[in-house]
Structure 1
Amino acid sequence: MAKFLLLQLRPEPETSDSEYHAILDKSGLDADRVHRICLDREDLPDNLNVEDFAGVIVGGGPGCVSDAPEQKTPVEARIEQSCLSLMPQITANDLPFMGCCYGIGILGHHLGADVSKAQYGEPVGPTTCMVTEAGRADALLRDMPAQFDAFVGHKEALQELPTGAVHLLSSAPCPFQMIRYGDNVYATQFHPEADGAEFETRIRFYRHKGYFAPEDADRLIDMCHSADVTWPEKILAAFVARYS
């Protein structure tokens, strides 16, 4: 059985490992079915062929594709280039792809859409996602309720639907919460792997990264633990089940 390729972007071992275990747990994948590459400290192998994998999952991270080149650290620039280098093959061949948070920026940027901080950024915490008409017919969403809460926290967002993409989920603060390109290329603005405990880990590490006022960290942690966020993980599980 082919493995899933997991690309991780978080430069802190604690948040990267926590995200890794959350993705395994929520997707139903065992570690031996995942080929994990931590792009903050590893290069993509020269002989990497994404068609050798059942699918590609891209995790989140603190970088923004819309930042000016001079604002990006060398690590952020290398991570971005690594992800973008795979997108032509993925989109041209309609290969299974799930980009989480940062991944929707990568997909949108590759497709020529406007990704920026102009509007639609969301503070850390739960947001209510609503299934669009197209979303109700999508293979990953057909068993989802009409609306559900998901965890977000992002500075940049799609400002428009990329040409050729299908709009699957929206929210009041950010219209493009989930899109699909072709039949198999997906991206979410929210974090489908995250629960309250996972978001606590990220809040503690990113409290000085500009997502929120540092003094709000404890309040946000309490809010995330009290939120009812259980449906997004089913999207990740459905992705893995479909392409296994």
Structure 2
Amino acid sequence: MKPFLILQLRPESDAAEEEFEALLDKGGLPRARAHRIRLDQEPLPQGLSARDFAGVIVGGGPGCVSDPPEKKTPAEAQCEAAVMRLMPEIVGEDVPFLGCCYGIGILGHFLGAPVSKARWSEPVGTSACRLTEEGRRDPLLEGCPDEFVAFVGHKEALQALPEGAAHLVASETCPFQMIRAGRNVYATQFHPEADGAVFETRIRTYRNHGYFPPEDADRLIEMCHAAPVEAPPLILRNFVRRYG
């Protein structure tokens, strides 16, 4: 059986390690079937093809696709360039792909849709999401209720649906919470791998990155641990089951 390629973009080791463990746990993915690359630490190997894997999962990160080059750190620029290098093959050949948070910016930008900080950013916390008609029919959302709560926290967002893409999940605070291109290329604005413990680590890690006032960290951690977030991990598990 082919492994899944997990690409990580977080230069902060605590957050990166916990994200990786959460992706395995929530996806029901055995460690032996995960090929992990931390793009801040190593480049994509020459000759690597997305078709060599059962699917590609891209985690989140502190970078923003819409930031001008001079505002991106070298690590952010390196990570973005590496993922973008794979997108022509992934989209062109409909290779199974699941981009989480940062991944929706990557996919939207590649498809020519506007990604910016103009509207629809969401503070660290939760968002009340709902399935669209298309979402109710999508196999990755099987088992998800029509309305559910998900963890979010992002500065930029899709400003419009990419041409030809399917709109699967929406919310009042950010319309494009999940989309699909082709049959197998997915991206979420929310974090399907996150639970209260995972978000606690991220709140502590990114408390000075402009997502929220640093003095709000303890209040946000308490809120995240109390949040009834149950449905989003089903998306990860359905992705692994469908393509594994």
Tell me if TM exceeds 0.5. yes
Deviates more, 1:139-148 or 1:80-89: 139-148
Distance in structure 2 (CA, Å) of the matches to 1:12 and 1:76: 12
Task: Give ranges in structure 1 of 5+ residues lacking alignment.
Answer: none
Q: Which amino acid aligns with 2:145?
A: P
Q: Which amino acid aligns with 1:158?
A: L
Matching residue of 2:195: 195
Distance in structure 2 (CA, Å) of the matches to 1:74 and 1:23: 25
Distance in structure 2 (CA, Å) of the matches to 1:145 and 1:173: 19
For the 8 Å contact 2:65–2:106, the answer to whether it is kept is yes
1:151 paired with 2:151, answer yes
Deviations 1:59-81 (A, max 9, x none): 00000000011101111111111
Cα drift, residue 92 of structure 1:
0.5
Distance in structure 1 (CA, Å) of the matches to 2:142 and 2:203: 32
Matching residue of 1:79: 79
Matching residue of 1:105: 105
CA RMSD of aligned residues (A): 0.5
Deviations 1:33-76 (A, max 9, x none): 00000001110000201101000000000000000111011111
Distance in structure 1 (CA, Å) of the matches to 2:47 and 2:157: 32
For the 8 Å contact 2:142–2:238, the answer to whether it is kept is no
Matching residue of 2:205: 205
Superposition pairs of residues 3-152 of structure 1, within 5 angstroms: 3-152=3-152
Structure 1 residue runs of 4 or more that deviate by more than 2 Å after TM superposition? none
Q: Which amino acid aligns with 1:85?
A: R
Cα drift, residue 174 of structure 1:
0.1
Matching residue of 2:179: 179
TM-score of the pair, normalised by structure 1:
0.99
Distance in structure 2 (CA, Å) of the matches to 1:14 and 1:30: 21
Deviations 1:190-236 (A, max 9, x none): 00000000000000000000000000000000000000001100110
Deviations 1:124-147 (A, max 9, x none): 011111000000110111321110
Cα drift, residue 240 of structure 1:
0.4
Deviations 1:143-179 (A, max 9, x none): 2111000000000000000011000000010000000
Deviations 1:103-134 (A, max 9, x none): 00000000000000000000001111100000
Q: Secondary structure at the match of 1:140?
A: helix
Q: Secondary structure at the match of 1:212?
A: coil
Task: Give ranges in structure 2 of 5+ residues lacking alignment.
Answer: none
Q: Which amino acid aligns with 2:130?
A: M
Matching residue of 2:216: 216
